[in-house]
Every structure is written in structure tokens, then in C-alpha cells.
Structure 1
Amino acid sequence: MKQVRPKKNLGQHFLTDLNVAKAIADTVDACPEIPVLEVGPGMGVLTQYLTQKERPVKVVEIDRESVEYLNEAYPMLRDNILGEDFLRMDLSKIFEGRQFVLTGNYPYDISSQIFFKMLDNRDLIPCCTGMIQREVALRMASQPGNKQYGILSVLIQAWYDVEYLFTVDEHVFNPPPKVKSAVIRMTRNSVEKLGCDEALFKRVVKTVFNQRRKMLRVSLRQIFGGLDSKDSFFANEIMTKRPEQLTIEQFVDLTNLVDSKMKTLDKKDSEGEE
């Protein structure tokens, strides 16, 4: 059987260590019984262990050469090999609206996009596991006050509990990446509603972390444009903090402060036009 050639443009680094592959596959056991969707199976090093678990498994692979290989190597999966782009898929149709575990050896260059899609489909994905670049995994699992704490940390931890499981060295891949990898698991927490405007929450988080070294009273001016820096809004005690100091709950409170101020300004503008 012809081996698949790793393609640089797809960020392919094929895992070659079977012990590591089995350990990654076993991370899905934290969410038993529900189906599994593997992203980017390549030549099926994880797939072979996932299919041993007594539950439905589907794989999605954008690389045509890999799809051909998988069809030949895993004939029992033939109807469940999806030759598509995960980022463009309607996830509600994969298991007919059922919840599923998302897993994979994720391409480094699109791992953040994969997790943002997970967040958009969080009601479908109670558990997400897999391998990513170690630096990204550290950011996702980081707590307030840590230099790795950032946009990914806040947006993911608002909805998921994140576990950094173990580190994977470069030499167990073909070709070896230039960085270390890490295996993570994210499990949906009990939060159903954040208690604020969720779109604004994302905007606030991204805005302040884009100037992470500055106090909130400086970075938030981007949202309000010409608002005077001496306005009482900026006198709030939280405005002297930097974004990495805020917990998820404090980001929710900050979003509500911003929301309230925006509505006050909108009201003044509409009254001025009358």
C-alpha cells in the first residue's frame, strides 16, 4: 500500500509513535458512549485505535491522497470517511444532530480556527481532545496572571474546562515539526449563559488583549472612539487592571460595563438628533 506523502501546505506532520497515538485516542474515553469525529487522520495512526472503541467513528480529511489511503486501509470506515474541509462543514449534519467528541492530530496552522468552530458548536461538542502545538496548548490552559493567558484562554475557558495532559517531542513525527506538541482535553462546563452580550464579550476580550501591556482604560478607548479619557467610565476601579489579570467572571462584568456605557451613549446620540 502506497504511503501518503506529508504535504507542507496542509501542515501535515504524521505521528509515527504508536504508544503516543494510543494515548491520544484514549483521551476520548472521558466522554464515553457518544460518537467520535477525528479531524485530519492522515494515514490513520489515531484512527486504528479509535475504531476499536465501541462507538460510531467518522473522520474528516481534506487531503485526497489521504482519503484514498484511508479507504483502502480501513474498508470498514469507507462510508464514514468525509473528504471535506472541516472548517466549512455543517457539524449538525455529521451525526444527524447528535453530540460527539472532537479529536485529532490537528494541523498547527489552523488549530485556533478549529477551536473557534468548536465554540460556535459547543452544544454539539461536550468534549474535545487532541494534539496541538505546545505553545497553543499552554495558552489554552493558562490561568489569569500568567504571561500565556490570552484571547484563547478566556474564550475557551468561558465554556470549557481545559486540561493539559502531556507533552509530545518532535522526533515522533514525519517530518519532525520545529516545536514540541501537547495533548489537551476540553470538557464542557456547566455554563449555559455568560450573563452578558456574548458577541460583545468576544470583542472586548480581543480588543484589550491586542494591547495586553496597557491598562484597560487605555485599550478600551478603541471601542468608544472619541470618548474623553476623563469620562467617569474610565474611573471604574477595574480600569487600572491589565487584561491578563482578569478572570472570566471579571471579563463578563467588564463586558456589561461596556455594554451599559454604549447604550448610554447611543441614547444621548438619538436624543441629540431629535
Structure 2
Amino acid sequence: MKSVKPKKFLGQHFLNDLSIAKDIVDGLSGYKGYTNVLEIGPGMGVLTDFLLQEKKYSLFVSEIDKESVQYLKIKYPELHNNIIEGDFLRLPLEKYFEGQFAIIGNFPYNISSQIFFKVLNYKEQIVEVVGMLQKEVAKRLTSGPGNKDYGILSVLLQAYYDMEYLFTVDEHVFNPPPKVKSGVIRIRRNQRTTMPCSDEDFKKIVKQSFSSRRKTLRNALKSLNLTESVLANPIMEKRAEQLSVEDFINLTCMIIKE
């Protein structure tokens, strides 16, 4: 069977170390009892091989590369009806999954952050994600307050997910080798069901707060025309990276209620 050629424009770097592939698959915990798993960008199936050995899961794969799709159909005839051809970022996931499910994958570097923004849109269904992405991004997503890597997506994800950095993967185990190291993370849905503010307001305040991360919130949020009572709150003298998720929720509620 002819191999698939990695395509630069799709950000493809095929993992060729089987022990690392197994470690990534072993990161799935079955949290909350899900049985459906969606693999993003299987390429030539190095993760797929191990996922199919996990008989407790029903596996679906999402692949945008037509060459890979044809390869996967031949290699995995048992997956024929579960191969979703298309751009994951545009897929209506509710069409394929009614209940809760997990996501796993060696995520293309160029869309890894977008994948997690989409996960947030399906946070009531996606209860676990195990993903390999650029180490810098992996560290950013799992960083907490007071860390220079802590940012917008860190806060938005951590509002609804518990985050873990699992391990680092060196460049030489890929074809072609990327120029940077990769990191594998696991996120699992936490117990938060609702917030006292809307998701949209929360996202707006978080994004605006980090828009000038070296400035205090008093200056970073200046365009919102905050009231004197809000400006007088001691939290306004802090910078965005100093605030926890709960701080951001409280800040949003305080601004919206004024």
C-alpha cells in the first residue's frame, strides 16, 4: 500500500515512533464513561492502530487530506462508515455524536488553537481531549496565573476543563521533523455547569484584559468605559496574567452588573 506524503500546507508531521503513539492513546481515560472517540488528522494511522485495539471505544476519524482518506479506507475497512472526510473546524459535530465523546490526535500545528476553541463550543459533549501539539502552545494552554505563558485560551479552557501537561516529544520522531518540540496534553471536563455571567461576556472581558498584557486592567479595559466603582476595585491594579479563572468570572460579573 502506497504511503501518504506529508503535506506542508496542511501542517502534517507524521509520527513514526510506535511507543509514543501508544503513550498518547493510553492518555485516554474513559472519563465520565464515554465510548465514542474522534481522532483528528489520522494521516497514516499510527494512533489509529492502537485506538482500534481499545475495544471499549467506537472510533471515528476526521481527515481533510484526500490522499489520507483513500489510504485509511483501504487500510481500515472496518472504519469505512466512520471516516469523516472534511475540515474538522467546519464539521457539525452534533450530526455525528448525540452524547458525550472524546477527541484525540496529533494536531496540525497551524490549527491546534482553533481546535480547542471549537472544543469549547461543544463543551457539554466533549468531556476529554488528548492532543499532541506544538510544545509552546501546550505549555500555554496548561499554564496557570502568574506564568508568562498564561493567556486567553488558558483561561477560557480552564473555566470548563482540568488541564494536564503529560509529556514532551522530540522532533526526530516525525516525518518530516518539525523545527520545534511537541507536547502532549490531556483536558477533562470539570464540574462547572454554568457561570453567573454569559460565556460571551466572559470571553469578551478575558480577551480585552490580555489585549495589553503588560498593562494593568485599569488601562487594558479602558475602552469599556468602566464606572468609578469598578475602577476603584483593587483588582484593577493587577495585570491579566495575575488573575485566576475565578477572578475573571468575578471581574466579568462586576463589570456587567454596573
Counterpart amino acid of residue 59 in structure 2:
V
State whether residues 40 and 106 of structure 1, in contact with CA within 8 Å, keep that contact through their aligned partners in structure 2.
yes
Q: Which residue of structure 1 aligns with residue 47 of structure 2?
A: 46
Structure 1: distance between partners of 2:222 and 2:154: 23
What's the CA shift string for 1:192-220, capped at 9, x where partnerless? 01221221110110111110000000011
Structure 1 length normalisation: TM-score?
0.91
Q: Which residue of structure 2 aligns with residue 87 of structure 1?
A: 89
Matched ranges for 1:262-273 at <5 A:
none
- For the pair 1:24 / 2:21, whether they are aligned, the reply is no
Structure 1: distance between partners of 2:99 and 2:186: 20
Q: Which residue of structure 1 aligns with residue 209 of structure 2?
A: 208
Counterpart amino acid of residue 209 in structure 2:
V
What's the CA shift string for 1:155-198, capped at 9, x where partnerless? 00000000000000000000001110011000000000122122
Q: Which residue of structure 1 aligns with residue 132 of structure 2?
A: 131
Structure 1: distance between partners of 2:112 and 2:204: 20
Structure 1: distance between partners of 2:178 and 2:223: 38
Structure 2: distance between partners of 1:182 and 1:99: 25
Counterpart amino acid of residue 88 in structure 2:
F
What's the CA shift string for 1:201-252, capped at 9, x where partnerless? 101101111100000000111223xx68xx3431211100000110111101
Structure 1: distance between partners of 2:30 and 2:122: 19
What's the CA shift string for 1:89-141, capped at 9, x where partnerless? 1111213x021111100011111111011011011111111101111111111
- For the pair 1:59 / 2:56, whether they are aligned, the reply is no
What's the CA shift string for 1:39-64, capped at 9, x where partnerless? 00000000000011112100000000
- For the pair 1:148 / 2:149, whether they are aligned, the reply is yes
Task: Specify which of 76, 79, 85 is matched with residue 77 of structure 1.
Answer: 79
Q: Which residue of structure 2 aligns with residue 98 of structure 1?
A: 99
Give SS of 2:60's match.
strand
| CA-based RMSD | 1.2
Structure 2: distance between partners of 1:94 and 1:168: 31
Counterpart amino acid of residue 60 in structure 1:
S
Structure 1: distance between partners of 2:181 and 2:6: 18
Structure 1: distance between partners of 2:131 and 2:22: 11
State whether residues 197 and 256 of structure 1, in contact with CA within 8 Å, keep that contact through their aligned partners in structure 2.
no
C-alpha deviation, 1:33, in angstroms: 4.9
Counterpart amino acid of residue 160 in structure 1:
Y
Structure 2: distance between partners of 1:99 and 1:92: 10
Counterpart amino acid of residue 40 in structure 1:
G
Which runs of structure 1 show a deviation greater than 3 angstroms over 4 or more consecutive aligned residues? Answer: none
* Structure with the higher fraction of residues in strand conformation: 2
Give SS of 2:129's match.
strand
Give SS of 1:222's match.
helix
Counterpart amino acid of residue 120 in structure 1:
N
Structure 1: distance between partners of 2:30 and 2:85: 27
| Unaligned runs of at least 5 residues, structure 1 | 262-274
Give SS of 2:133's match.
strand
Counterpart amino acid of residue 233 in structure 2:
N
State whether residues 34 and 102 of structure 2, in contact with CA within 8 Å, keep that contact through their aligned partners in structure 1.
no
Structure 2: distance between partners of 1:142 and 1:114: 18
Structure 1: distance between partners of 2:196 and 2:26: 35
Q: Which residue of structure 2 aligns with residue 269 of structure 1?
A: none
Task: Specify which of 241, 252, 257 is matched with residue 238 of structure 2.
Answer: 241
Counterpart amino acid of residue 167 in structure 1:
T
Q: Which residue of structure 1 aligns with residue 123 of structure 2?
A: 122
Counterpart amino acid of residue 246 in structure 2:
E
Structure 1: distance between partners of 2:255 and 2:29: 41
Percent identity over paired residues: 55
Counterpart amino acid of residue 139 in structure 1:
R
